[in-house]
Amino acid sequence: MSKSFKRNISITGATTFAYLKVTEPSSYAAGIQGIKVALDHVSKESGLFRSLKTLSQMNQKEGFDCPGCAWPDPEKPSKLGEYCENGAKAIAEETTFERVDRDFFKRYSVEEISNWTDYQIGKSGRITEPFVLNPGSVHYEPISWADAFALIAKELKQLKSPDEGIFYTSGRSSNEAAFLYGLFVRAFGTNNMPDCSNMCHESSGVALSQTLGIGKGSVVLEDLHEAEVIMVMGQNPGTNHPRMLTALQKCKEKGGKIITINPLSESGLNRFKNPQQLKGILGAGTSLTDIFLQVKINQDVPLLKLLMKRLAKRDQAGEKVFDHAFIKEKTNGFDALLKDLEHYDETQLLEFCGVASKQVDLAVDVLAKRSKIIICWAMGLTQHKNGVENIKECVNLLLLKGSIGKKGAGTCPVRGHSNVQGDRSVGIMHYVSKPLNQALKETFDFEPPNHEGLDTVNAIHAMHNKQAKVFIALGGNFVSAASDTSYTAAALQNCDLTVSISTKLNRTHLTAGRTALILPTLGRTEQDKNRFVTVENSMGKVHQSKGKMKPASEKLMSEPEIIAGIADAYFGTDSKIDWKTLGSDYDLIRNKISKVLKGYNDYSNRSKGSGFYLPNNAREADFSKMPNGKAQFSVCKLPIHNVEQDEFVLMTVRSHDQFNTTIYGMNDRYRGIYGERRVVFMNPEDMQDHNVHSQQVIHLTSSYDGKVRKAENFKVIPYDIPRQNLCAYFPETNILVPIDLYADQSNTPVSKSVVVRIEPA
Ligand SMILES: Nc1nc2c(c(=O)[nH]1)N[C@H]1C(S)=C(S)[C@@H](COP(=O)(O)OP(=O)(O)OC[C@H]3O[C@@H](n4cnc5c(=O)[nH]c(N)nc54)[C@H](O)[C@@H]3O)O[C@H]1N2
Ligand SMILES: Nc1nc2c(c(=O)[nH]1)N[C@H]1C(S)=C(S)[C@@H](COP(=O)(O)OP(=O)(O)OC[C@H]3O[C@@H](n4cnc5c(=O)[nH]c(N)nc54)[C@H](O)[C@@H]3O)O[C@H]1N2
Ligand SMILES: [Mo]
């Protein structure tokens, strides 16, 4: 077949409308409705009895870790079950009875499947055996594991340089799989390891490393219970980290205050009915947010500056507001920060952030009188042009209050995937770590590459420009997760070979290279020959996870086995590393990790039970390795959006019924949307100004670098959102995010502040 053959693949799928019902947003999260919805999902996908058995093992000491978010488990898991509605949906999705098998691919071509919605694609089921899409073909066909590995080895050997390979990782892989993958990729000779962090918390990692000397949060779960104030910024825990609501509830019960900063009043942060308590199910629930600051999109920096300015005024007036002993002993740059704050005019800051002065004062009062403060944040802060500075500004506030390295206080970037933090800790990164390279060299006797690799954005450019030719993904759904869907799809389609190690079918399997492979793997819930793996939660605790369910098919391999299979086929028998043995013996992998990385001694043993914490200098308030041995204050600029009169700033968020690109269902219950995802939330006054009525169909366009990008067919929903701000779901809107619009320093696509226009359909 000729190289120029091009498959006719739709990158959006159907954009027609389904049934839509709109109600008032929900006034509370979870409760009996949450239990009902969870049970509906599991019984529909995988049978009620079977699912309840699975759920009873989730997040228990001998069970498996929830494949959903990375929120930590309490020391004593609830006997009623330590899971949430959305964890139950994640399980339903993985344990489904549906199968993507030989018959499925015989019946449907990739061209046909690409016209389905992401929801329909995902619901096709679990992949049962390895499949290949040959050059010139539009149907995946079965291939043996051995032939699949041989094919990958052949393509990798044909590359002119190892840097023509791209090795992506999503955040569900275990520490063992991730370490082995990183080892293979470095032995192969490149650091081209983009990962989902690049699109997620990279801004947090960069900001926290530069200010506090560790790219992770400093708190543990118990700190949230002890905190006097928790600020929840740019995060929707009711949907994305539901078990965090229990921690917020505990904080409130002990007298703590919660300040929420968000353009939307997310119902999960208003009232919570804890499904793990009878009174939570039947009673009125707990009111969570004390002070709601409805900030305009990406105007958190002006708001934080305002808070700090007013706190400084009170401190200078003699009130004991700042922790001067801590500032003097532990920090650098205090005077410069104060001087910078003086520059700004309060009226202007108020105008930028859109929050009423009185509301700001309420927050200032709470913060002034308390010193055990935690700031929690997620994508609402990281996915902006100035994502790194958003987080630095949060650190500034915490440092002023001495709220780092003490009980009940600190930084809490709330992670996404269940093991995204662990993957980084064990070596998935595109940049060079000298200590890691040195340790790998000593342990495995090879020279790891010493030049920086490509992150997500740069990997897409390289594939687009045909500088990279083989794409391998350990999990994830690259084409739908990354920005600028058309550009990214073309980049993947330019490759000679694209390989996805996956549990379920997704759009990346369709936007395939000349040849494509799907390598099906075991999920978290499934038995893995009595072996266990380990994961690290959002707070740096490493613990084991052991699947109990019968695998979806007998032909599945575990992720470490697959990686070892590829490595063995590539390096052959004269390799210094015995890949096959490593890939089958996870204790051996853990032994190697403990040799290469600090903090993992006696790894296998210590990961049993509730696990162990990795070292964390910020938690200890130890900044000895930082410049001057101190934590750093930062001077941050105001974010600038040159938004014209007829333009809007769009944030792309998750509905209550999805896990990233996996669409669990068509409802967003908390926001009152049922049956449809192609909606855009708009301020009613803006609707009036633009002459659009409720549920009118519009198109969204973004202009950047002279190119207009268009997402078609969205129904307008009047919503309580600041003027000139819009909100819609991802991945449908990723097509609007320009590839070259990413955060300074972290290169994270600006999925939360895309300047768009609307046009009538
Ligand atoms: N059920 C479920 N759980 C998940 C996921 C999922 O898709 N489904 N995804 C996982 C992953 S990978 C991640 S990273 C996390 C994501 O968790 P979140 O970050 O909570 O996810 P988003 O839906 O992107 O929500 C962003 C929130 O930030 C707000 N926001 C947007 N822009 C701004 C801003 O400029 N300033 C402020 N202050 N707020 C803003 C939005 O209104 C919204 O409430 O969740 C993880 N957990
Ligand atoms: N516009 C916009 N874009 C965004 C975001 C946003 O807020 N707005 N958020 C970004 C964020 S925070 C993230 S983290 C990325 C997510 O990007 P990704 O991590 O690439 O995407 P996911 O949707 O989590 O990946 C889902 C796929 O993973 C596979 N899978 C599931 N479980 C397993 C497993 O156990 N093993 C293996 N090997 N595969 C498995 C399944 O095949 C499934 O189809 O998206 C980013 N993209
Ligand atoms: Mo994420």
CB-based contact 249:268 (threshold 8 Å)? no
- Per the CB < 8 A criterion, the answer to whether 270 and 687 are in contact is no
pLDDT category of residue 703 using cuts at 50, 70 and 90: very high
**Where is 271: in which H helix or E strand?**
strand 271-273
Residue 220 predicted with pLDDT over 90: yes
Share of the chain above pLDDT 90, in %: 82
Instruction: Tally the residues of the chain.
Output: 761
Ligand 1 centroid – CA 537 distance (Å): 17
Question: Would you say residue 45 has pLDDT above 60?
Answer: yes
Report d(CA 761, CA 757) in Å as an integer: 13
Task: Give the separation between CA 500 and CA 511, rounded to whole angstroms.
Answer: 11
CATH superfamily membership of 202-413: Dimethylsulfoxide Reductase, domain 2 (3.40.228.10)
Q: How far is the CA of 195 from the centre of ligand 2 (A)?
A: 10
Closest residue CA from atom 17 of ligand 2? 481
| Residue 243 CA to ligand 2 centre (angstroms) | 20
pLDDT above 80 (res 132): yes
Counting atoms of ligand 1 from 1, which one is nearest the CA of 379? 19
Other Cβ atoms closer than 10 A to 726: 27
Can you tell me the distance from the alpha carbon of 79 to that of 276, in angstroms, rounded to the nearest whole number?
Answer: 9
* Band (260; pLDDT cuts 50, 70, 90): very high
525-538, pLDDT tens digit by residue? 999 999 999 999 98
How far apart are the CA of 753 and the centre of ligand 3, in A? 16
Burial of 195 from C-beta contacts in 10 A (0-12 / 13-18 / 19+): buried
Pick the more confident residue, 227 or 44.
Answer: 227
The dihedral region occupied by 626, where left means phi > 0, alpha psi between -120 and 50, and beta the remainder, is: beta
Query: What is the mean pLDDT of the segment spanning 114-139?
Result: 96
Q: What's the pLDDT score for residue 61?
A: 67
Pocket test for ligand 2, best of 170, 415, 500, 657 (most atoms within 8 A of CB): 170
Whether the pLDDT of residue 598 is over 70: the answer is: yes
Q: Which tokens hold the place of 369?
A: 């009188």
How confident is the model over 5-28, as a mean pLDDT? 90
Ligand in nearest proximity to the CA of 68: 1
Burial class (CB in 10 A: 0-12, 13-18, 19+), 602: exposed
Distance, CA 380 to ligand 1 centroid (Å)? 6
Name the closest ligand to CA 418.
1
Q: Which among 524, 540, 533 is positioned nearest to 608, based on CA atoms? A: 533
- What is the DSSP pairing of strand 410-413 with strand 658-659? unpaired
What's the rounded Cα separation, in Å, for the pair 166 and 463?
9
- Provide the pLDDT confidence category of residue 353 given band limits of 50, 70 and 90: very high
3-state secondary structure of 293: strand
Please tell me the least confidently modeled range out of 125-129, 454-458, 642-646: 642-646
- pTM value surpassing 0.85: yes
Domains of the chain by residue range = 101-200+419-613, 202-413, 648-760
Q: What ligand has the least distance to the C-alpha of 749?
A: 2
Question: Which amino acid type is present at position 658?
Answer: Q
Question: What is the average pLDDT value for the chain, to the nearest integer?
Answer: 93
CB 68, CB 86: distance < 8 Å: yes
Rounded mean pLDDT, 546-567: 96
Q: Check residue 370 and report its DSSP letter.
A: -
Question: Which of 64, 98, 172 to mutate for ligand 2's pocket (most ligand atoms within 8 Å of CB)?
Answer: 172
> What is the pLDDT, as a whole number, of residue 452?
97
**Residue in this structure with the two tokens 């819009």, named with its chain if needed:** 726
Ligand 1 centroid to Cα of residue 200, in Å, is 10
Q: What is the pLDDT of residue 283?
A: 67
Residues with CB under 6 A from ligand 1: 68-69, 86, 200, 233-236, 239-241, 261-264, 266, 295, 297-298, 300, 378-380, 416-417, 651, 653-654, 658-660, 752
Q: Give residue 271 CA to ligand 2 midpoint distance, Å.
A: 29
The answer, yes or no, to whether residue 380 has pLDDT greater than 60, is yes
DSSP at 629: G
Which CATH fold would you assign to the domain 648-760? Barwin-like endoglucanases (2.40.40)
Q: Is the pLDDT of residue 518 over 80?
A: yes
pLDDT at 385: 97
Q: Closest Cα to residue 240, out of 703, 657, 720?
A: 657
- For residue 276, give the DSSP letter: T
CA end-to-end span of the chain: 41
Residues in contact with ligand 2 (CB, 6 Å cut-off)? 170-172, 196, 199-200, 379, 383, 416-417, 474-478, 481, 501-504, 506, 521, 523-524, 559, 652, 660-662, 730, 733-734, 737, 751
Q: Determine which residue's CA is closest to atom 36 belonging to ligand 2.
A: 475
Cis ω on the peptide bond leading into residue 731 (within 30° of 0)?
yes
CA dist 569 and 586 (Å) reads 20
Ligand lying closest to the C-alpha of residue 738 = 2
Which residue out of 94, 483, 661, 753 has the highest number of ligand 2 atoms within 8 Å of its CB and is therefore the one to mutate?
661
Residue with tokens 């070596």: 427
- What is the separation of C-alpha 111 from the centre of its chain, rounded to a whole number of angstroms? 29
* DSSP assignment letter at 541: E
The model's confidence at residue 78, banded by pLDDT at 50, 70 and 90, is low
The protein residue with its alpha carbon nearest to ligand 2, atom 28, reads 476
Query: How would residue 1 be classed by pLDDT, with cut points 50, 70 and 90?
Result: very low
CA dist list (Å): 458 to 200, 281, 529:
16, 48, 38
User: What is the tally of helices (H) and strands (E) in the chain?
Assistant: 30, 31
Quote the CA–CA distance of 518 and 692 in Å, as a whole number: 44
| Gap from CA of 475 to ligand 1 centroid (Å) | 20
Task: Please give the single-letter amino acid code of residue 741.
Answer: L
Residue to mutate, 653, 725, 754, ligand 1, most ligand atoms under 8 Å from C-beta? 653
Structure tokens at 398: 């915490």
The architecture CATH gives domain 101-200+419-613: 3-Layer(aba) Sandwich (3.40)
Mean pLDDT of 199-219: 97
Please give the Cα distance from 12 to 32 (Å, whole number): 35
Predicted local distance difference test score (pLDDT) of residue 41: 78
**Position 395 pLDDT exceeds 80:** yes
Q: Cα(337)–Cα(398) distance, rounded to whole angstroms?
A: 13
Distance CA 589, CA 79 (A): 33
For residue 174, how far is its CA from the centre of ligand 2 (angstroms)?
Answer: 15
pLDDT at 243: 87
Nearest CA residue ID for atom 37, ligand 2: 475
What pLDDT was estimated at residue 81? 62
Number of other CB atoms surrounding residue 617 within 10 Å = 17
- Out of 225-234, 414-423, 680-689, 737-746, least confident range: 414-423
- The 10s digit of each residue's pLDDT in 241-259 is 988 999 999 999 999 999 9
Choose which residue among 503, 556, 659 to substitute to test ligand 2 binding: the one with the highest number of ligand atoms within 8 A of its C-beta: 503
Average pLDDT over residues 647-663: 96
- Residue 2: the pLDDT is 46
With a cut of 80, say whether residue 520 has pLDDT above it: yes
| One-character DSSP codes across 333-364 | -HHHHHHHHHHS-HHHHHHHH---HHHHHHHH
Instruction: Answer whether residue 572 shows pLDDT above 70.
Output: yes
Which of the residue ranges 63-67, 429-433, 478-482, 627-631 would you say has the lowest mean pLDDT?
63-67
Output the residue whose Cα is nearest ligand 2's atom 32.
503
Q: Which ligand is nearest to the CA of 748?
A: 2
* Residue 272, C-beta contacts closer than 8 angstroms, at least 6 positions apart: 28, 29, 30, 238, 245, 248, 249, 280, 285, 286, 288
CA distance 281 to 288: 16
Of 277-291, 307-321, 716-730, give the lowest mean pLDDT range: 277-291
Q: In 136-237, which ranges are E strands?
A: 141-142, 165-169, 229-233
For 708, which DSSP code?
E
Q: What percent of the chain has pLDDT over 70?
A: 96
User: Which mutation among 455, 483, 492, 502 tests ligand 2's pocket best, with the greatest number of atoms within 8 A of CB?
Assistant: 502
Across residues 469-491, what is the average pLDDT?
98
- Could you count the other beta carbons within 10 Å of the beta carbon of residue 715? 18
Average pLDDT, integer, range 47-64: 73
